[in-house]
Structure 1
Amino acid sequence: MTNLSSLDIRGAWSIALGASVWGLFWYPLRLLDSMGFKGTVAIALVSLLGALVAIVVALLRNQGEDLMSFDAWLIGSTMGLSCVLYFLGIMVSDVIRVVFLFYLLPIWTTIAARILYQEVITPIQLVFILLALIGLWLLLGGGTELPLPKGLGDWCGLAAGITWALCLSMLRGRSDPPPVSTTAVTLLCTGLFALIIVVSIDHPVISGQLPSMNAWYIAVPLGLLFGGLILFPSMLGQIWGARLVPAPTAALLTMTEIILATVSAYLIIGTELNSLSMLGGLIIVSVVCVDLVLKHRALADNP
């Protein structure tokens, strides 16, 4: 057994619970999409309203200066980019497919640890990476084609996992900036990145998809609910917890999202995976679980 401190355990629970809530975020985003807030417009609305709540909380906690710190913006902008890529992916592609692609995450945390902390990549880790790529190939349909994402949503899910892994590695062991201010900047950057896409690519006025005024009356309270009371606490929990546990451990804990995302997508919209895709997903999950167990055993042998 590993020796986990009370803070390690609290951090693990914080990540797991926060990530679990994320498994349901695809639904409110698609709900807003059905009301006329298409794609990145919905992402921008929810994120900016969530950022507003987070900024108020940060100011009440006397963290105004932390909101302007370089580290908060470095981490926040990277996490914001990851969030936009992830949310965009689940809105334009199959929910389960994008979620599984995102959860190659532990592979990327291993690579990031090598680059940022010069941690040695062992032969068994290379085997895990190979197995994960095989799982990815099966998830994407198998056959004779190269195992590459087939659409924009798939690429967004894959890229989101890579950038999120970088964030987990940067958060590891940090005491500053405080989690609340980091979360506020993250949500603000998420909203700003989404707005850039809205203005430059998916402008609702140009596309003729500007929501009606009545839709705004409903969407703003919903966005405040989703962003301020769900997205903000969920993100805060993951950022706070990621500072207390190793990045690969945090990566596996975030996989609790898969459970809720899979079940909710199946129950609400009838999304299914074929047997080949399910096998690929199972391989990916198995790889990261075994990788985590081996890392824990190594820590126990070398406390």
Structure 2
Amino acid sequence: MSGQVQGQGQSVLLPSLAVAASAVFWGTTWIPLREIDGPGVPAEWSGLLIYLVPALLVLPMILIRRHRVIAGGLPLLVAAVAVGACNGLFAVSMVFGEIGIVILLFYLNPIWATVLERVVIGTPIAGFRWAGIGLGLLGLVALQGLAGRWPFPSNAAEWMGLGAGVCWAVGLVATNVARDSSMVEKTFLQFVFAALTAGLLIFLLGWTDQHPTVAGLSASLPWILAAAALWVVPAMGLSLWGASHMSPARASMLLMLEVLVGVGSAAWLAGEELGLNKIVGGALILSASLVEAWGSARADAKRVG
């Protein structure tokens, strides 16, 4: 019995560390995104630029491995579109929105992951998960209401943050279902759909009047390359690999570390105010993840026993 428990603990340790590390990367992605913005590079193009580089690099590999991509079927396609859309939406929202609020709205995703697990996989919604959903929704009300706003996103960037969380929850469930597809196909395709999403937003939101100049791109190139090589690629690879080896709800809980990293770094480096709404709303949203972690641990222990 103890050997079985130890083995299961070891099997989930590395994926858990990978997802936690990816949360640190995601929590500071706003730094290169905002550094790319400058003379000759409109801010609205930042999200597209950081994903365009890896997308172009992996396209030949996708073509070479096209038979594996086709074999992945609908689960792989849904995972790719959903996670890609998540990252594209999140990148754009980081440029224009208030970082702390956008991140907290994104990290309501355990609610959507729990509901999707029930609908797609058939996982029963236990009492502790209902409590987590309630705490998460109360956190949303506090986050917006204590700032004098209606208890839902108040601008386009915040809606993108919330939408990114929904897409991530869909991607987690689809990634969990698409176990037969390798991480190579899953990761490569995310880059392409993230770039497509960020590019589509430029047209949908009417940001086509200004285009990056050659001089602007040359000046911003170090940050564009750094964003791809030091933030996007490690974060996406670690999060997708780790998430594929655990339940969607558990992965969402571990990724909540980004809340602390993102809100803290934005307050420290970007001078964002750490108001009562973020403190109370963030505490409630984090409490929702803690309830999920506690309940999942008890459920796992009962299954092992």
Q: CA deviation at 1:13?
A: 0.8
**Whole-Å separation in 1 of the counterparts to 2:132 and 2:230:** 38
Q: Which residue of 1 aligns with 2:179?
A: 175
The structural deviation recorded for 1:58 is 6.7
The equivalent residue for 2:234 is 233
Q: CA RMSD in A?
A: 2.3
What CA distance in whole angstroms lies between the structure 2 residues aligned with 1:186 and 1:142?
36
Q: Does the 8 Å contact 1:100/1:281 carry over to 2?
A: yes
Correspondence 1:255 to 2:265 = no
Q: 2:68 aligns with which of 62, 66, 69?
A: 66
Q: Distance in 2 between matches of 1:200 and 1:140?
A: 26
The Cα of 1:54 is off from its aligned counterpart by 4.1
Are the counterparts in 1 of residues 38 and 216 from structure 2 also a CA contact under 8 Å? no
SS of residue matched to 1:264: helix
CA contact 1:57–1:180 (8 Å) conserved in 2: no
The answer on whether the counterparts of 2:15 and 2:245 sit within 8 Å (CA) in structure 1 is yes
1:288 paired with 2:280, answer no
In structure 1, what residue type is equivalent to 2:255? Answer: T
Q: How far has the Cα of 1:193 moved from its partner? A: 1.7
1:24 maps onto 2:25 in alignment? no
Deviation, 1:238, is 0.6
Alpha-carbon distance between aligned partners in 2 of 1:104 and 1:25, rounded to the nearest angstrom: 19
1:228-276 C-alpha deviation (Å, 9 max, x unpaired)? 3421121011111111111111001111212221222122211122123
Q: Partner of 2:135 in structure 1?
A: 131
Distance 1:273 1:302 in 2: 41
Q: Using the TM superposition, give the Cα deviation of residue 152 of structure 1 relative to its aligned residue in structure 2, in angstroms.
A: 0.9
Question: What CA distance in whole angstroms lies between the structure 2 residues aligned with 1:181 and 1:165?
Answer: 19
Deviations 1:31-56 (A, max 9, x none): 11234433441111110102234456
Report the equivalent of 2:117.
Answer: 113
- Between the two proteins, what is the percent identity of the paired residues? 26
| TM-score, length-scaled by structure 1 | 0.89
Q: Deviations over 1:176-200 (max 9, x none)?
A: 3211221111111111122222245
CA contact (8 A) 2:267 2:274 kept: no
Where does 1:79-94 land on structure 2 (aligned, <5 Å)?
79-94=83-98
CA contact (8 A) 1:105 1:251 kept: yes
Contact 2:18 2:238 in 1 (8 A): yes
Name the CA shift for 1:276/1:229 in 2 (closer, same or farther; >3 Å).
closer
Deviation for aligned residue 1:150: 0.9
In the superposition, the TM-score normalised over structure 2's length comes to 0.89
One-letter code aligned to 1:152: A
User: Residues 48 and 67 (structure 1 numbering): CA distance in 2 closer, same or farther, change over 3 Å?
Assistant: farther
Q: 2:54 aligns with which of 50, 54, 58?
A: 50
8 A Cα contact 2:129 2:295, kept in partner: no
Rounded Cα–Cα distance in structure 2 between residues aligned with 1:228 and 1:235? 11
- Mind listing any 5+ residue stretches in structure 2 that lack a counterpart? none
Equivalent pair of 1:44/1:195 in contact (CA under 8 Å): yes
Once the two structures are TM-superposed, the CA of residue 226 in structure 1 deviates from its matched residue by 1.3
Instruction: Provide the C-alpha distance between the structure 2 equivalents of 1:215 and 1:260, rounded to a whole number of angstroms.
Output: 30
Q: CA deviation at 1:84?
A: 1.6
- Preserved CA contact (<8 Å) 2:129 2:291: no
Deviation, structure 1 residue 203:
4.1
Match of 2:302 in 1: 301
Whether the 8 Å CA contact 2:89–2:197 is kept in 1: the answer is no
**Conservation of the 8 A alpha-carbon contact between 2:97 and 2:158:** yes
Q: Which runs of 5+ in 1 are unaligned?
A: none
**1:174, distance to aligned residue in structure 2 (A):** 3.9
CA distance in 1 between counterparts of 2:41 and 2:83 reads: 23
